[in-house]
Structure formats: structure tokens, C-alpha cells
Amino acid sequence: MEQDEQLEDWYVRYHSIFGKRYTRKRKDRFLESLTADIRQFRSDVELDTFKLNEKDIVEYKNLYVGDIKKANTIICTYYDTPAVHLGPYQFFNVESRAKNTMLFILLSSVFYLLIGLFFTWKVAMPVFQTNNLTSFLSLLCILFYVLYFYFLKSVARGWPNKHNLIRNTSSVLMQLYCTKQFKNKKVAFAFLDAGCTNNSGLEKVMDKSDAVICMLDSIGSEENLYQVMSNRELSISRNSVETVISPDITNDRLLYVISGSKEEDSFTLSKKELKQNKLSDTNMNEVVLFLEQLVGRNSK
């Protein structure tokens, strides 16, 4: 990737300023910034707002660049970031990731409930028994409970992870760079919602298009690069990106490009890798070349 001032600006903005994209409010701010950046050099930007069903109260948002209905290749990545979870990041295993996240939420909630009970027993009850409600100590206790329940609500909802450069800001930066570099009308881009939860953003794109979908996930780590698919015809001949045929990929139009550790039939990223604060220049450059090769082949 070319090291220009604009790329450095994107790095600061989406790693430091918009590095957490867990709540709807934070995700919307990110999309506003991303749209403004892309409109500086492209006008074919569309925001797709949708729900999984009519009764669903959760709203999702995908951002498309280019015409995804006419494209024969769509390069995608998810822009949301995860909650803190136990264990490594497990690619393609949604159920296991959800279990590890819920276990962390459960343990955190129990811990903070115990803190609340301890405070009530040792501090609040003696204060309220010996002071009226308008006393200074009583008001301090009431303030503690206001802050405590506000904080507990956040804990029960899931605590936003602050280490998101590898997962998945690296892929967002790669895709943003490619929207400027690749002007082929047969190529479109999709920044997807819910990649850390139920993959509803990816499913929406798969339903809207018959194109080959190339999904980028955590490409900026120091681990090896893999192209993972169920259909070998999608693979690109490139020594730096190992080809893996996996039963975890259930659609024959879907190709994943990831960096991670391969153990038998599974792929993971360790906690240490997830907390890295520096991108692998080698992997980032190799993915650019890989995507150029993929786009060139599919555009013939």
C-alpha cells in the first residue's frame, strides 16, 4: 500500500477516533465519516438500512460503493467491532464466539454484582442507618448507586473491545484504499454490519447479488495469509496466500481472505495478535496484490 498522507490520516481516524464501533451510535458516526471520505473521490456510494424481519427491532446498515447488482466481484469486510470475550478469535465459528462473549459478560456481571452487594453491606447500610437521606455521606452513596447501575448496564450489554486494529480496522483500511484504487465498473465494495455477531450484513449482500464475494477479515496481523473457500475455482494462484478448501464456507460464491493461525481445519487469532498495535506491512501489501489479481481475472 502506498504510504501517502491520506492513508496516514485514515489510519489515525479509524484506528484512534472511530476505533470502537460496537453500539449503533458509534457505528453511525463511523459510517458518516467513511461516506464523507469516499465521496471525495467517488460518488457511487449508497447506504442500505434493513432489518432481518418486520418484527425485528434491531436495525442494520451496509455501505456500498459501486453497483453491487451489476458487479461480478464484490470486495467486502465488516466494520463493526466486537465485545470483549474469552479466548482467541475463532474464524467462521459464530456459535463459539457468541459463547465466549456471553461467558465473559456473565463473569463480569457476577463480579460487579458482588461489588455492589459488598458496598451495600459494608458502606451504604451503615450510612443510611446513622444519617438522613440529605446528608453528605448519604448523597455520596446515592451517587455511587447511580453510577453503579449505569456501569452495570454497560457490562451486561457487553464491554466494547478497545483492541480492534487487527480485527477488523486493518480490513476496513484495506478496503477504503481499494475503493480509491479500483475504478473498474465490474467491481463493487461493501462495508458490512454485524460481522461480529450474526453476519446479517454479509447475508444481505449475498441475497442482493450473484457476484463472487471476497470477504476480508483481520488481514493485518503478522500471521500467515489464507484464501478460504468451498469452491476451488475461486482461488487465486499466489504463493503468499495459501489456498484452503473448507466445509465451513457454505456458499460456493464466497471467498475469505484472512490472516491467522491454522490448526487442522480451524483458524484462530490469539489474544496477543489481537492486541497488536501495528499492522503487518507485508500482509497488507500482499493483499493489495491479491485483490488486483482477483479483480483482473474476474473482469476478463
Would you state the pLDDT for residue 94?
Answer: 86
What tens digit of pLDDT does each residue of 165-176 get? 999 999 999 999
Closest CA to 167 of 246, 241, 229, 90: 90
Would you state the pLDDT for residue 78?
Answer: 98
Q: Which CATH class is domain 5-83+163-298?
A: alpha beta
Is pLDDT of 299 > 90? no
Is pLDDT of 246 > 60? yes
User: What does pLDDT average to over the chain?
Assistant: 92
What tens digit of pLDDT does each residue of 108-152 get? 889 989 999 999 999 989 988 888 888 888 899 999 999 988 888
Is pLDDT of 3 > 60? no
264: left (phi over 0), alpha (psi -120 to 50) or beta: left
E strands, 200-286, are 212-217, 224-229, 241-245, 254-263, 266-269
Instruction: State phi, psi for 292 to the nearest 5 degrees.
Output: -60, -40
Selected residue with higher pLDDT from 4 and 52: 52
Instruction: Calculate mean pLDDT across residues 225-251.
Output: 94
Is pLDDT of 1 > 70? no
Would you state the pLDDT for residue 32?
Answer: 97
Residue 8 near residue 164, CB atoms below 8 Å:
no
What tens digit of pLDDT does each residue of 36-79 get? 999 999 999 999 999 887 777 889 999 999 999 999 999 999 99
Helix (H, G, I), strand (E, B) or coil at 51: coil
Would you state the pLDDT for residue 88?
Answer: 94
Q: Count of alpha carbons within 13 Å of 158, Cβ hemisphere only?
A: 21
Would you state the pLDDT for residue 4?
Answer: 67
13 vs 19: CA distance, rounded Å: 8
Would you state the pLDDT for residue 98?
Answer: 87
Is pLDDT of 7 > 90? no
Q: Which triple of cell numbers denotes residue 287?
A: 493483499
- Give me the percent of the chain exceeding a pLDDT of 70: 98
Q: Which triple of cell numbers denotes residue 6?
A: 491520506
Q: Which triple of cell numbers denotes residue 86?
A: 474469552
Task: Tell me the whole-structure pTM to 2 decimals.
Answer: 0.91
Instruction: Calculate mean pLDDT across residues 256-283.
Output: 94
Would you state the pLDDT for residue 265?
Answer: 80
Instruction: Calculate mean pLDDT across residues 76-102.
Output: 92
Selected residue with higher pLDDT from 198 and 225: 225
Q: Give how far Cα 12 sits from Cα of 1, 158, 170, Å.
A: 16, 25, 12
Would you state the pLDDT for residue 5?
Answer: 78
Q: Residue 292: CB partners within 8 Å, gap ≥ 6? A: 182
Q: Which triple of cell numbers denotes residue 167?
A: 480485527
Is pLDDT of 222 > 90? yes
